[in-house]
Copies of this chain bind each other. A is one copy, B any other.
Amino acid sequence: MARKYVYFFGEGKAEGRGDMKELLGGKGANLAEMTSIGLPVPPGFTLSTEVCTEFYKNNRQYPDGLTEEVEKNLARVEELMGKKFGDPENPLLVSVRSGARVSMPGMMDTVLNLGLNDETVKGVIKQSGDERFAYDSYRRFIQMYSNVVLGMNGEILEDLLEEMKEERDVELDTQLSSADMKALVQQFKDKVKETLGRDFPTDPREQLWGAIGAVFGSWMNPRAITYRRLNNIPAEWGTAVTVQSMVFGNMGDDCATGVAFTRNPSTGEKIFFGEFLVNAQGEDVVAGIRTPQPINKGKGDSDLPSMEEVLPECYAQLMKIQQILETHYRDMQDIEFTIEKHKLYMLQTRSGKRTARAAVQIAVDMVKEGLIGEKEAVLRVEPRQLDQLLHPSLDPKASKEVIAKGLPASPGAVNGEVVFTADEAEDAARIGLKVILVRIETSPEDIHGMHAAQGILTARGGMTSHAAVVARGMGKCCVAGCGDIKVDYSKQQFATKSGAIIRKGDVITLDGSTGEVMQGAVPTVSPELTGDFAMLMEWVDKFRKLKVRTNADTPNDAAVARKFGAEGIGLCRTEHMFFDAERIMAVREMILSEDVEGRKKALTKILPMQKSDFKGLFREMKGLPVTIRLLDPPLHEFLPQKEAEIEEIAKVMGVDASVLRHKVDYLHEFNPMLGHRGCRLGITYPEIYDMQVQAIMEAACELIQEEGYRIVPEIMIPLVGHVKELEIMRANAVRIADGVIERLGAKVEYLIGTMIELPRAALTADEVASQADFFSFGTNDLTQTTFGLSRDDAGKFLPQYVEQNILPNDPFVTLDQRGVGQLVEMGCEKGRKARPGIKLGICGEHGGDPESVIFCHKIGLDYVSCSPFRVPIARLAAAHAALMDEA
């Protein structure tokens, strides 16, 4: 039996179904489905994706019998429509559309009005009684066809159209007369011949096969190939082609066209919602030439008459249909319709795009309505979207004056008075002022100011600059790399591109979700973590398998993260505790000491501070696991740079300033990222880690004795490249920890593990595991070393890389699975093999990126850890991952 290649749909009967997307593409499957459930769909047929596959298998030859099948189906359409393809009296016009399983840029998309020529156009005039409409359709057809099917540069015909408008001294196409359009048709045909050396095809069947061939041909054009490669879409999927009879919403006042959503896509409210235009074509709604009218009476801000009023019968029919569709598809639908002489036709239905707020509301409502189950509800909300919900946002009703635009580095909306130094920010915060810290770029020395400020605005740096990364970690609003502003520290002001000057003390508003900077205080609305959101997250936690921890350095961070559902701390960066203004002096004293004794003296001052830090964290986490990373960054990050600072510290230490200056110079590094940091410090200055371990263990012991929590500190040694480093550091830590336990007589267990953040650690994870109770993949640094890419310096070329599709994503945002992920997987496998049951987690920024979280689930990590404000996103992504396993 011959294979079936063409699938008919029309008049309540369809050979395809909605679940046949693989064979018929998204468009074809949905049209078939709508037809089957009795909705009014203009008849047509779909050439399946198998035709595409055969086409390429047989050296671009169509399979045998295809022509006959197409003819047979065309005849059925003609019969249903009472028109004939190519008939000069009453011609059938069709649209030809591509339809892959997923929509794909680069593919030929649509040809409308196919079947027109100098003869059939007369039939259209006769049927519509509208010559201008007929010739406008004809010239549009020639334009579209010659461009997408014949491959002619679209501008050539566009230029003729423009010339005509100039000649007639009009601005809009609609102002051209019927005769103008007719003339254009001739000009277009002449130009096509001149350009391509052959006549524009007049035979409708030639036109049809030309369009079909163009769709299949575009499957293998370079843009489509690239897109597939980047998105891992196999070439074997192929595309389908749908041929459908045209219907027209622009044949008079009893015609219309419109788009609608079955629920409000921005609030989620259960109200049918849409716009339409009388006597118009689909493109006109989009083009914005006329103001569309509302569908419902009395809803929205429009004063224009509604469809409910203008076309009440069609409105009643559409209301019924939209309910059928939503119930049928069990999701909010985005629909397109056309009314031709009082007859309603459905042209498209698909799941509608929606805001995060709407997504949550709709998902929860639909569970309540019994339309979907909890699992489906969870899958209906995109993890990435949630970010919008977790920060204050600008009141959508407020007016705003945007003065500059930078990168949306860390979401949220805040306002405050402008300050230009971290110290000012801190001083202002101390007396209760709300400030925005504005810097050319930030450095670790600005941390206290960033903490104190409402938000951060930088003129330089990308999405992964210091300001951006730290701000995201703090959940603090940040607009980074705002090249529109010119900061002048000396004058304490910045200028915008438009020449406005903002001075210290002026109030501005930042929107970290859009990158906009506004003058004055724009009102904001708070995030809503209760109600529907809380209910959805309850379901989320039921389904996910991956634990979600947070990266938190302070009790405050920890408290926020707990509120967002964190199940422990996956990364506490102890160095952040060192930058505190009161402590930095002792830290500097420690670094600049000439010998162990000097360092120990300074460390003695730091010990009680660190201990109280850890107590705070443990107390906040109430027995949940807390992973504490020992000192990681290069020492020179803590160094005084200014002469006055050097002199001050020299006085405290009782040494000569020149000696200190020499030491500061000595500590300078060419590539600090690859320098004397992490456990390398622990090896050369063991007393630093000794102090930290002592502080951790004393804090844990005392809290256990005082408050009775079960605390199991997880001590993490950073930057291990060779097992031997960990072996030595572990032995030291065990010695100190056991000493504290014995001295304080407390019963405390503890774990000692390492970050896997260097390729060598992943490559030799079997060896490293012999000394580690747990691995935490530090994918920030692992990405830097695997790519040989400094996050601080990448701003000069990484944006171009992402723009040009050299890299599909910023690898510091979404884990590079093929490269970095390969190392992570290798690390897991080797680690588990050498030490079954080893605890595995990830604590890079990727722990809060949905795609990366799904990868972490796939390779079987125990937990991810991310900044507090991304915890709900990670929880939702983890649930998605688990539910995808079930599917």
Contacts and interface: CB of A to CB of B under 8 A. Distances in A.
Interface of A: 669-676, 680, 683-684, 719, 721-722, 724-725, 728, 757-760, 763-764, 767, 781, 784-790, 792-794, 796-797, 800-801, 804-807, 816, 818-820, 822-823
B819 A683 contact: no
A673 B670 contact: yes
B675 A790 contact: yes
Given A763-B822, A818-B764, A671 B722 contact: no
Q: Which of A671, A721, A822 has the most CB of B within 10 A?
A: A671
A684 B800 CA distance: 8
Contacts of A675: 790, 793-794, 796
Instruction: Across the A-B interface, give the 8 residue pairs with the lowest CB-CB distance, nearest first.
Output: A674-B790, A671-B790, A760-B819, A675-B793, A759-B759, A758-B788, A670-B792, A671-B673
Given A672-B671, A673-B674, A719 B805 contact: no
A800 B684 CA distance: 8
A671 B758 contact: no
Nearest to A226: B724
A807 B722 contact: yes
Contact of A724 (B719, B781, B784, B807): B807
Given A671-B673, A671-B793, A786 B763 contact: yes
10 contacts: A669-B793, A670-B790, A671-B792, A671-B793, A674-B788, A683-B797, A684-B796, A719-B788, A785-B786, A785-B788
A684 B805 contact: no
B806 A724 contact: yes
A683 B798 CA distance: 10
Contacts of A790: 669-671, 673-675
Contacts of A757: 788
Contacts of A781: 788
Contacts of A672: 670-671, 793
Nearest to A634: B793
A674 B798 CA distance: 12
A759 B670 contact: no
A722 B674 contact: no
Contacts of A793: 669-672, 674-676
A722 B816 CA distance: 11
Q: Which of A669, A763, A788, A794 has the most CB of B within 10 A?
A: A788
Contacts of A763: 786, 818-819, 822-823
Given A760-B816, A781-B788, 18 more contacts: A669-B793, A670-B672, A670-B673, A675-B796, A676-B793, A676-B796, A676-B797, A683-B797, A683-B806, A684-B800, A719-B788, A721-B786, A721-B787, A724-B807, A759-B759, A759-B823, A760-B786, A764-B818
A467 to B, nearest CB: 14
Contacts of A728: 804, 806
A669 B672 CA distance: 11
Nearest to A728: B806
Contact of A758 (B669, B767, B786): B786
A489 to B, nearest CB: 14
A823 B759 CA distance: 9
Contact of A789 (B683, B721, B816, B819): B721
Q: Which of A675, A760, A767, A786 has the most CB of B within 10 A?
A: A760
Nearest to A818: B764
Contacts of A787: 721, 758, 760
Nearest to A230: B724
A421 to B, nearest CB: 19
A664 to B, nearest CB: 14
A797 B684 contact: yes
A790 B784 CA distance: 13
A672 B674 CA distance: 11
Contacts of A673: 670-671, 674, 788, 790
Q: Which of A725, A767, A793, A818 has the most CB of B within 10 A?
A: A793
A428 to B, nearest CB: 29
A24 to B, nearest CB: 33
Contacts of A822: 763-764
Nearest to A796: B676
A290 B760 CA distance: 54
A819 B759 contact: yes
Contacts of A669: 790, 792-793
Nearest to A670: B792
A713 to B, nearest CB: 26
Contacts of A819: 721-722, 759-760, 763-764
A797 to B, nearest CB: 5
A665 to B, nearest CB: 10
A137 B814 CA distance: 75
A603 to B, nearest CB: 19
A50 to B, nearest CB: 29
B671 A674 contact: yes
Nearest to A668: B793
A701 B786 CA distance: 38
A155 B672 CA distance: 46
B722 A806 contact: yes
A790 to B, nearest CB: 4
Contacts of A725: 806
Q: Which of A669, A674, A787, A819 has the most CB of B within 10 A?
A: A674
Contacts of A676: 793, 796-797
Contacts of A674: 671, 673-674, 784-785, 788-790, 793
A602 to B, nearest CB: 19
Nearest to A795: B676
Contacts of A805: 724
Nearest to A792: B670
B797 A680 contact: yes
Contacts of A800: 683-684
A225 to B, nearest CB: 12
Contacts of A804: 683, 728
A815 to B, nearest CB: 12
Contacts of A758: 786-788
A833 B863 CA distance: 36
A772 to B, nearest CB: 16
A344 B673 CA distance: 65
A671 to B, nearest CB: 4
